[in-house]
Structure 1
Amino acid sequence: MTEKQKDGLWENVKTIFWALIIAGIFRTLFFQPFWIPTGSMKDTLLIGDFLFVNKMAYGYSKYSCPFSSCPISGRILGSEPERGDVVVFRHPTLGTDYVKRLVGLPGDKIQVKSSVLWINGEEAKQVSAGMFSETKLPQGRFRTIPQCINRPVGEGGECLKEKFVETLPGGVSHSILNFANRSVDNTNVFTVPEGHYFFMGDNRDNSIDSRVSPNAGGVGFVPAEYLLGRADRIMFSAAGKRLFYFWTWRSDRFFKEIE
C-alpha cells in the first residue's frame, strides 16, 4: 500500500469515527429515533410509524446513553412530565424501550372500572367517536394480525374496533380503542408512589402497561429515571414489513403531530 493510499484510508477512518461520535452525542442529548413495533398505541400511533423522541423534555439519567452507560445518578436537567404525554421509557425489568401514554402522576390514585379510567376519583370521560377501521393483514416486522370487533373477518377484509375520545383531568383529550371486556378493564385502585409514573396504551385491550405488575408480565409503576423522552411528532410511516416498500407508505402521517 502506498503512502497516499495509507493517508486516504486513515482519513476515512477518522471521518467515520467522528461521524459516530457526533451521532452518539445527538442521540444521547437531543433526539432518539424510535420505530413503533406493536399496536398498543393505536390509533394514536400505528405499527410502522417512525418518530424522534425528544430527550430534552424530561432531562437525563443513566438510561439516556446507549447501553445505559451515562455516569448519572438519578435525573438531571429535567422537567416534570405532564399527564397525557406520550412517553418512551425503559421497561423497569426487561431493558426494552416502550411507548405509552402517561395517565398517573406521583401520588395519584388510578383505577379502571368497566373500561373507564378513573383518576383520583374523577372519571376520564369517554365520548364515542365511531369505529377505527383497518385492513386485516399482517402488520410490521412481527407480522401482527389485528383483532376485530366485527369478527369473523377474512384476510384483506375490513377490521373494526370501537373508538372513543377520552378526556383526562386537566383537559388533555385523545382517542382510545376498545375491543372487548378483559381483566385489565376492571382493576383495583393503584396508588402511584413518589418518583414513579403510571402508563397505559391507547389500544386498551392490546397493551402491556402499568395495569399489570412486571412479575405478571406487565410494566407496573415506572421510576422517573427510566423515562427517555417525549414523543411529539411522527416523521414517517410505512405499513409494510420493510421501509423500502414505498407502496405501503402512509403519506397522510408524515410530520403528523402526536396528540
Structure 2
Amino acid sequence: MAATEKKQQNAFVETIKTIVYALLIAGVFRTLFFQPFWIPSGSMKETLLVGDFLFVNKMAYGYSYASCPSLILPRFGIDVDAKDICGVFDGDNTRLFGNTPDRGDVVVFRHPVSGRDYIKRLIGMPGDSIQMRDSVVYINGEPAPQEPAGVFAEIMQPQGPEGRRPRCSNGPIGDGGTCHKERAIETLPGGTKHVVLDIGLQASDRTGVYQVPEGHYFFMGDNRDNSADSRLAQQVQGVGFVPFENLIGRADRIMFSSGGRSMLFFWTWRGDRFFKAVE
C-alpha cells in the first residue's frame, strides 16, 4: 500500500473516531446534565413562547430511567425511546440522588403513556387536593389568588413548525389581527408568582377535586385554556398524575427564541428573550 493511501486511511479512521467520541460526549452531557428542549406549542404562554429554545437542568431532581435521552423523528422513521436504553430502571418510582421539586417549578417530564416530553408548571404536590373553580385553582381548599394584569397580545398567524394559530378571548379574528388573552398574576402557596392566561370559561375551568397520589405530581399549563395537562386523564390525551420517576428536569433559562418556522431563520429570532430566566 502506498504511503499516500495509508495516510488517507488513517485520516479517515481518525475522523470516524472523532465523530464517535463527540457523540459519546454529547450523549453523556445530555443524559447527566442538560437536555435541549424546543417549545412546540402555546400551552405555557406567556412564560414560554412557541419557538423558545432552552436547556433543561437534569441535575435538579436527580436521575431515573427518564433521564436517558429519547430520539423520536417520525419523518425519518427514528423512534428510540428512553425505555429502550434505560428501561431496566423503570417501575420503582424512585430516583438516584433524587431531589423533591418545588411547587411552581417549570418541569419537563415524560408523558406516562405516550413517552413524549411535555413541559408544564408544577401545581400539585403528593397528597394535595386540586380543583378548578371558575378559572381559579384551589389547592387544599384554598384559592391561589389571581391579580388582573391587563391582556396578552399577539398577532394572529401560524406559529412554529406546526403552524398552529392561537386562540383568542376577543373573538374570531383574521390573520394579521391582534389576538388577546386575559392576563393575571397567580400566587401559589409558598409565594411563587407567575403569569396565567385566560380565554374564557370552558369545561377545564370547572372541575371536580383531584387527589394527588403519593409519589406523583399535578401539572398545568400557564395558558390555562389551551393546555392538555393533569386536568385531563391520560386516556383522553391528557397527562393525569405524573410519577416522580417521569420527571426529566427543570427549565431554568431560555437560551434564544425564534418566531419563525425554524430556529435557523435567524431573522425571526426574538432579541428580548436571549438568556431570559424562566419564572
TM-score between both structures, scaled by the size of structure 1: 0.98
Q: How far is the alpha carbon of 1:152 from its aligned partner?
A: 3.0
Q: How far is the alpha carbon of 1:129 from its aligned partner?
A: 0.4
Q: 2:242, 2:156 → 1: CA distance?
A: 33
After superposition, residues 1-259 of structure 1 pair within 5 angstroms as 2-66=5-69, 67-68=81-82, 69-70=85-86, 71-72=88-89, 74-259=94-279
Q: How far is the alpha carbon of 1:151 from its aligned partner?
A: 2.1
RMSD of aligned residue pairs (Cα, Å): 1.0
Q: How far is the alpha carbon of 1:247 from its aligned partner?
A: 2.2
Does the 8 Å contact 1:133/1:158 carry over to 2? Answer: yes
Q: How far is the alpha carbon of 1:155 from its aligned partner?
A: 0.7
Residue segments in structure 2 that go unaligned for 5+ positions in a row: 70-80
Does the 8 Å contact 1:55/1:230 carry over to 2? Answer: yes
Count of aligned positions:
259
Q: Which amino acid aligns with 1:193?
A: P
Q: 2:114, 2:195 → 1: CA distance?
A: 28
TM-score between both structures, scaled by the size of structure 2: 0.91
- SS state at 2:35 partner: strand
Q: Residue 78 of structure 2 corresponds to which residue in structure 1?
A: none
Note the alpha carbon deviations across 1:209-258, whole angstroms, 9 max, x for none: 00010012210000000000000000010000012222211010110000
- SS state at 1:225 partner: helix
Does the 8 Å contact 1:122/1:169 carry over to 2? Answer: no
Q: 1:242, 1:45 → 2: CA distance?
A: 16
- SS state at 2:89 partner: coil
Q: 1:95, 1:152 → 2: CA distance?
A: 34
Note the alpha carbon deviations across 1:2-27, whole angstroms, 9 max, x for none: 11111000000100000000000000
Taking only the aligned residue pairs, the percentage that are identical comes to 61
Residue segments in structure 1 that go unaligned for 5+ positions in a row: none
Q: How far is the alpha carbon of 1:72 from its aligned partner?
A: 3.1
